[in-house]
Amino acid sequence: MEDCIFCKIIDGKIPAAKIYEDNKVFSFLDIMPANKGHCLVVPRRHSVTLIEMSEDDLVATVKAAKKIASALSLSFGNGSFNIVMNNGKEAGQLVNHAHIHIIPRFQKDRLRIKWSHVKYDDNEIKEYAEKIRKFI
């Protein structure tokens, strides 16, 4: 993809602090980290969201995320990290090349990933489950 910043990083046209690469994925440090050591892992093949990714790319990306989370924990982390994937504009996806964030967590860091809750009306939870199940 011509205008994709992550494709340019994968192709070496834009510099990045590389963490890991193999024939399916590429991983580098996020330039504006939520915490220092915040990594991104992306499939080499351009896809916009998780839904577009091939199963092969998805498996490779998730496996790499585990490898990177482990390296983060062993290097300067403490075994605590968040895995985040923003899919789509409303979910806060800013770069339209699918990517997984691996964010190391520290005692008293300032990152907040907890969300507020909404409530289902009576029976609504069953209706939601039914609506979704139809498309599985």
Mind telling me the catalytic residues? Answer: 99
Which of residues 53, 95, 106, 111 is near ligand 5GP by CB under 6 A? 95
Binding at 16: pick from ligand 5GP, Zn ion, none (beta carbon under 5-8 Å per type): ligand 5GP
CA–CA distance, 113 with 125 (Å, rounded to integer)? 24
Q: Is the CB of 16 or the CB of 60 nearer to ligand 5GP? A: 16
Give the separation between CA 44 and CA 25, rounded to whole angstroms. Answer: 5
Between 114 and 131, whose beta carbon lies closer to ligand 5GP?
Answer: 114
- Record the tokens describing residue 69, joined without a space: 């989370």
Tell me the two tokens of residue 117.
């809750």
Rounded Cα–Cα distance for residues 85 and 88 (Å): 10
- Beta-carbon contacts of residue 108 (< 8 Å; ≥ 6 apart): none
Contact string (CB under 6 A) for ligand 5GP, positions 1-40, x = contact:
----x--------x-x-----------xxxxx--------
Under the criterion CB under 6 A, does residue 94 sit at the interface with ligand 5GP? Answer: yes
Strand order in the sheet with 81-84: 18-21, 25-29, 39-43, 100-104, 81-84
5 binds, among Zn ion, ligand 5GP, none (CB under 5 to 8 A by kind): ligand 5GP
What is the contact surface with Zn ion in residues (CB under 5 A)? Answer: 1, 4, 6-7, 46, 97
Q: Whose structure tokens read 């496996």?
A: 63
Interface positions with ligand 5GP (CB under 6 A): 5, 14, 16, 28-32, 86, 92-95
